[in-house]
Amino acid sequence: MKSNLFKISLSLLLLMVASFSFAQTPSDIQFEKKVQKFRKVDEGHRITLNYVFTNNSNYTLTLVPPKVDCSCTVVIIPEHKIKPNSSDTITVKFDTKNKIGYQDRDILLKFIPDEKPQAPIDTKITFKGMVKATKESKAVYKKEH
């Protein structure tokens, strides 16, 4: 009886370990740079950043269009499926109009494996930089304060 209980327990343990080993992780998506910094720019400039990544998983992935906090940020994602061991690019365009001071923005990404849609890969990319106010913006700020 103890022998059968031990075998059943061992089998369940091995099954649990095997199921975790097939789970998708953020490391299945490798970015050249997940955090990018732009130089100090004058307000009104448009910044374009390219995030190159590689699908290191064994699955073909679909990237879900991310939600962004404001209309100042546009994210352009691949419209095609991303095959295993292939690289692609996500482009982020940031309009600095009316955005003054230090900017630190995250973009949450969700990659869906075609073969395992219930196990998405969630990760984030970030951009940072300083936006210098124009004379007009400084004048408006002084009036309001």
Contacting residues for 121 by C-beta, under 8 A, at least 6 apart = 24, 25, 26, 28, 29, 57, 61, 110, 111, 112, 113
Q: What pTM, to 2 d.p., does this model score?
A: 0.78
pLDDT of residue 69: 85
Distance CA 124, CA 68 (A): 12
- Which residue's structure tokens are 């969630």? 122
> In this structure, what are the phi and psi dihedrals at residue 28, rounded to the nearest 5 degrees?
-70, -15
> In this structure, what are the phi and psi dihedrals at residue 61, rounded to the nearest 5 degrees?
-115, 150
Quick: pLDDT tens for 29-74. Answer: 999 999 999 999 999 999 999 999 999 999 999 999 999 988 999 9
Contacting residues for 12 by C-beta, under 8 A, at least 6 apart = none
| % of the chain exceeding 90 in pLDDT | 70
pLDDT of residue 135: 87
Amino acid at site 137: S
pLDDT of residue 21: 40
